[in-house]
Amino acid sequence: MATTASDPSLGIDAHSGASLTGWSHVLQSLRDMFLTRFGSRLMREWYGSFVPEALGRNITQAEMLPVIASITSAIEQWEPRFLVVDVKVDASSARTGALVITVRGQFRPRALLGDMTVEGERALVVDMGTSDGMSVR
């Protein structure tokens, strides 16, 4: 699948090796950034987020704001194709030991080229209670 004028980004699916474009590419990029610790990559030392610091820990009410800030600041710093508008925490999930955060925002598919035109609203669900650490959907 080639890039088009409306969707200039092109990536490779980390699991299948197939071409990946559009919102699916953004979701994969966000998951990678959320699971990468700052300082863990040799050539891009400051790529990543503080989210890995929270994985596997019991998140209390007092620690929810830093986790949300870690997620939203990573998006703002590394993913211009998604502009955060609203964040909601599923409080019932926190009681079960999992933390589910829904981030609503605007999808700007051409932002990597400097075009900040919004294509529509998207929702990102970050589930920090999965067996592999985290799911992003």
- What integer pLDDT is reported at residue 1 of this predicted model? 47
Interacting residues of 60 by C-beta distance below 8 A, sequence separation 6+: none
Q: pLDDT digit string (tens) for 32-57?
A: 999 999 888 878 778 899 988 887 77
- What integer pLDDT is reported at residue 55 of this predicted model? 79
Cα within 13 Å of Cα(11), Cβ side: 17
Asked whether residue 137 is assigned to any structural domain, the reply reads no
- What integer pLDDT is reported at residue 57 of this predicted model? 74
Q: What is the domain count for the chain?
A: 1
- What integer pLDDT is reported at residue 86 of this predicted model? 96
User: Which band of pLDDT confidence, cut at 50, 70 and 90, is reported for residue 97?
Assistant: low
Q: Is the pLDDT of residue 6 over 60?
A: no
Q: Look at the alpha carbons of 44, 47, 53, 56 in this order and tell me if their dihedral is positive or negative.
A: negative
Q: Taking a C-beta distance cutoff of 8 angstroms, is the pair 49, 64 a contact?
A: no
Among 31-35, 61-65, 106-110, name the one with the lowest average pLDDT. Answer: 61-65
Matching residue, tokens 């400097």 = 114
Q: Is the pLDDT of residue 74 over 70?
A: yes
Mean pLDDT value of segment 132-137: 76
Matching residue, tokens 């508008």 = 85
pTM score, whole prediction? 0.84
Residue 136 host element (H or E)? strand 135-136
Q: Look at the alpha carbons of 115, 119, 121, 126 in this order and tell me if their dihedral is positive or negative.
A: negative
Asked whether residue 76 is assigned to any structural domain, the reply reads yes
Between 82 and 17, name the one with better pLDDT.
Answer: 82
Asked whether residue 136 is assigned to any structural domain, the reply reads no
CATH code for the domain of 43? 3.10.450.40
Range of the domain at 37: 11-131
Mean pLDDT value of segment 103-112: 95
What does the mean pLDDT of the chain come to? 85
